[in-house]
C-alpha cells in the first residue's frame, strides 16, 4: 500500500509540476523565439548578457543593400553560445546619410534613431540584462551608439560594450587581403560571401570605376550622394578581387574569433572588477 501511495504521489507531482520536464538548456538564443516563461526561467539567473545588432539599408556596390544587417546578425549567432548571451531582435534601419539617395537605401535622421535605440536599450535593461553588447554594422551611427551606450550604462548601472567589427578587425583585413578595407570592399564582401554567397553578385562587378576613395584629409571635399557605392579608405586599395569561398570563410572565422575574444575578455574583466 505504502509503495502505491508513493507512486501515486510521484505521478501527481509530475502532473502538477510539468516544469520538471523542461530542458535545462535554453531552446534558442534569439529573444524572438522564446516564450515569457522560458525567458523568465533563464534571464537574469542563468543568462544576463544580450547582444543587440544594429545596421542599416545602404547601397553596397554589387553586394546586398542590407550588408550592414547581414554581417552583425551573422556574427551574433556565431558567438552567442560561447559568450552565454541572448540575441535581441535586430535593428535594421540606421543613419545612412550620403548613400541614402541610391535605390533601396533608407535613412533615419539622428534624433529619431537615438530615441528609438535608447528605448530599446532601456527595454533590455528592464528585462534584467546586466551586460549589453551592441554589435554595429554601419559607420555613420558609431557616435550615436557610443554616446547612448555610455549614457545607459551610467544611468542604469549596467555594462555596455559597442563593437564596430570592421574597425576592430582592420589588421586582419590588411593581413589577409594585403590591402586596407573600406565600404563594400574586400572585407564586407568576404563577410557577406561567407554568410550567404548568393548575396554577392560578381556578375554586376565592373571594376574600379565602381569605387571612389574617401577624401583624405577627411574634409577636403564631400558629396551627397557620394559618387560611388564602393568607398575605399585608402585610394586604390580594397577593391574586391578574391572570389574564393575558402578565403571568404577564412576571413569570416578570423573576424568572428576576434569579436568573440573581445566580448569574452570584457565580460570577464567586468566580472573581476565587481560590475557583474
Ligand atoms: Zn557596410
Cβ atoms 251, 190 nearer than 8 A: yes
Task: Tell me the CA distances in angstroms from 104 to 67, 116, 204, one per residue in order.
Answer: 12, 22, 16
Q: How far is the CA of 136 from the centre of ligand 1 (A)?
A: 10
Could you report the per-residue pLDDT of 61-107, keeping only the tens digit for each? 999 999 999 999 999 999 999 999 999 999 999 999 999 999 999 99
The reported pLDDT for the residue numbered 276 is: 81
- The owner of cell 551606450 is 149
Cβ atoms 85, 47 nearer than 8 A: yes
For the residues 6-18, what does the mean pLDDT come to?
A: 51
Tell me the C-alpha distance between 64 and 200, whole Å.
7
Q: How far is the CA of 138 from the centre of ligand 1 (A)?
A: 6
Q: Are strands 230-232 and 182-183 parallel, antiparallel or unpaired?
A: antiparallel
Question: How much is the mean pLDDT over the chain?
Answer: 93
Q: How far is the CA of 214 from the centre of ligand 1 (A)?
A: 14
Tell me the C-alpha distance between 110 and 144, whole Å.
8
Q: How far is the CA of 17 from the centre of ligand 1 (A)?
A: 49
Q: How far is the CA of 159 from the centre of ligand 1 (A)?
A: 26
Q: How far is the CA of 107 from the centre of ligand 1 (A)?
A: 14
Amino acid at each position: 500500500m505504502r509503495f502505491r501511495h508513493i507512486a501515486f504521489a510521484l505521478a501527481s507531482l509530475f502532473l502538477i509540476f510539468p516544469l520538471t520536464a523542461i530542458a535545462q538548456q535554453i531552446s534558442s538564443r534569439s529573444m524572438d523565439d522564446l516564450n515569457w516563461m522560458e525567458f523568465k526561467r533563464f534571464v537574469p539567473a542563468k543568462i544576463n548578457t544580450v547582444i543587440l545588432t544594429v545596421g542599416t539599408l545602404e547601397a553596397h556596390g554589387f553586394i546586398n543593400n542590407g550588408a550592414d544587417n547581414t554581417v552583425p546578425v551573422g556574427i551574433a549567432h556565431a558567438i552567442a553560445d560561447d559568450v552565454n548571451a541572448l540575441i535581441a531582435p535586430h535593428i535594421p534601419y540606421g543613419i545612412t546619410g550620403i548613400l541614402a539617395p541610391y535605390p533601396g537605401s533608407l535613412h533615419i535622421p539622428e534624433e529619431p534613431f537615438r530615441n528609438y535605440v535608447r528605448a530599446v536599450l532601456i527595454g533590455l535593461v528592464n528585462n534584467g540584462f546586466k551586460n549589453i553588447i551592441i554589435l554595429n554594422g554601419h559607420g555613420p551611427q558609431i557616435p550615436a551608439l557610443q554616446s547612448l551606450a555610455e549614457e545607459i550604462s551610467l544611468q542604469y548601472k549596467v555594462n555596455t560594450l559597442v563593437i564596430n567589427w570592421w574597425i576592430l578587425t582592420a589588421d586582419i583585413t590588411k593581413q589577409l587581403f594585403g590591402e586596407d578595407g573600406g565600404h563594400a570592399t574586400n572585407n564586407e564582401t568576404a563577410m557577406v560571401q561567407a554568410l550567404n554567397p548568393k548575396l554577392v553578385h560578381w556578375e554586376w562587378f565592373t571594376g574600379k570605376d565602381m569605387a571612389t576613395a574617401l577624401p583624405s584629409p577627411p574634409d577636403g571635399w564631400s558629396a551627397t550622394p557620394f559618387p560611388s557605392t564602393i568607398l575605399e579608405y585608402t585610394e586604390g586599395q580594397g577593391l574586391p578581387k578574391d572570389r574564393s569561398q575558402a578565403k571568404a570563410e577564412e576571413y569570416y572565422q578570423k573576424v568572428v574569433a576576434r569579436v568573440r575574444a573581445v566580448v569574452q575578455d570584457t565580460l570577464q574583466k567586468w566580472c573581476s572588477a565587481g560590475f557583474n
